[in-house]
């Protein structure tokens, strides 16, 4: 294949195409589910009707004029790239950011890759004795993230397409209130948008994880829970009451020495997660909650948030 021509047709850099070509190689891909089955699968993945309609409208049918040969190549090789790392737990981009304004095929290419990998990762889960209820609860983060992307006026997806490869490779599991990410000697905690983060809900999720990982991954040894998040920034203590869920979550952790995270701007991440916008001026952001007022007042004062990492023993 001509990498230069492919990159030009996709509107991305040659380096991006070379990376996919190198990592995917001639490794096997996986087929998408039958189109007739897709609506039921999308519903199980908590995809909203408006997002599901777009996905179905852009479906890569044979001969569809929406799908250029270059797009079909990228879809096939992105599936192969992620499938080749089944069981891996590091951050993995499935491919380059595409010009999403070109239509549903471009906008949802990595959603189609995710759908093709559902059967693959479900097989991985079954091999590890994981209940279908946990599998579907975990994989349904697709619908949650598509809804967030829509709320963010399409500003959310470039981060999410890499994030969702964790689910598609069996690296991450949603157990109650928290998501638990395998790897190394620690279980990394993530906090999805799924309701109040009460101490009781957090404790129940941690207890579930303490039983889950020894049962399903007996060869792996975890000694601590860890988390890297702006939620652990001690500056929040200047604004939030002592009995807030965030403060009580912070108290679980022993903070590690601060290190500037590579490639992450904490101020941007706070705006992404608290307000679900990256472009609204500070003066126009809502101030309905103590947390919202804290975020805005802190930034308007010329101060910055930090992503902090902490841990506590299992």
Over the stretch 1-10, which tens digit does the pLDDT of each residue have? 799 999 999 9
The H-or-E segment that residue 312 falls in is strand 308-313
Q: Which of left, alpha, beta for 302 (phi over 0: left; psi -120 to 50: alpha)?
A: left
- How far apart CA 203 and CA 252 sit, in angstroms, is 10
Q: How many residues does the chain have?
A: 314
Q: Is 187 exposed, middle or buried (0-12, 13-18, 19+ CB in 10 A)?
A: buried
Distance of CA 89 to the CA centre of its chain: 13
Q: Which of 98, 152, 162 is nearest to 275 (CA)?
A: 152
Handedness of CA 67, 20, 107, 32 (dihedral sign): positive
Angle at 110 between CA 105 and CA 114, to 5 degrees: 120
- The pLDDT, as a whole number, for residue 128 is 98
Spatial contact of 166 and 89, defined as CB atoms under 8 Å apart? yes
Interval 135-159 mean pLDDT: 90
Using pLDDT thresholds of 50, 70 and 90, give the confidence band for residue 222. Answer: very high
- β strands within 136-223, DSSP E: 172-175, 178-181, 186-190
The predicted-structure confidence for 24-52, as pLDDT tens digits, reads as follows 999 999 999 999 999 999 999 999 999 99
The predicted-structure confidence for 98-124, as pLDDT tens digits, reads as follows 998 999 999 999 999 999 999 999 999
- How far apart CA 73 and CA 26 sit, in angstroms, is 12
Spatial contact of 75 and 32, defined as CB atoms under 8 Å apart? no
The predicted-structure confidence for 150-176, as pLDDT tens digits, reads as follows 999 887 777 889 999 999 999 999 999
């Amino acid at each position: 294949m001509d990498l230069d021509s492919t990159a030009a047709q996709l509107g991305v850099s040659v380096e991006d195409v070379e990376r996919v070509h190198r990592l995917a190689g001639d490794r096997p891909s996986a087929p998408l589910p039958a189109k007739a089955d897709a609506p039921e699968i999308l519903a199980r993945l908590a995809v909203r009707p408006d997002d599901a309609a777009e996905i179905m409208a852009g479906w890569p049918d044979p001969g569809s004029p929406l799908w250029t040969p270059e797009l079909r190549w990228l879809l096939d090789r992105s599936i192969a790239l992620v499938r080749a790392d089944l069981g891996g737990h590091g951050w993995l981009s499935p491919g380059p950011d595409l010009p999403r304004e070109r239509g549903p095929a471009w906008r949802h290419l990595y959603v189609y890759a995710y759908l093709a990998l559902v059967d693959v990762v479900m097989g991985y889960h079954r091999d590890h004795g994981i209940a279908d209820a946990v599998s579907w609860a975990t994989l349904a983060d697709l619908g949650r993230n598509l809804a967030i992307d829509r709320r963010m006026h399409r500003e959310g997806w470039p981060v999410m397409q890499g994030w969702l490869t964790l689910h598609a490779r069996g690296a991450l599991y949603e157990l109650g209130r928290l998501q638990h990410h395998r790897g190394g000697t620690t279980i990394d905690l993530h906090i999805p948008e799924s309701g109040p983060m009460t101490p009781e809900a957090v404790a129940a999720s941690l207890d579930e994880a303490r039983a889950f990982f020894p049962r399903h991954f007996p060869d792996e040894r975890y000694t601590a829970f860890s988390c890297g998040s702006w939620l652990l920034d001690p500056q929040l203590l200047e604004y939030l009451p002592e009995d807030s869920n965030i403060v009580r979550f912070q108290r679980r952790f022993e903070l590690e020495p601060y290190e500037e995270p590579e490639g992450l701007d904490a101020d941007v991440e706070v705006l992404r997660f608290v307000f679900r916008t990256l472009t609204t001026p500070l003066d126009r952001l809502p101030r309905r909650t103590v947390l919202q007022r804290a975020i805005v007042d802190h930034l308007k004062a010329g101060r910055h948030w930090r992503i902090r990492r902490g841990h506590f023993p299992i």
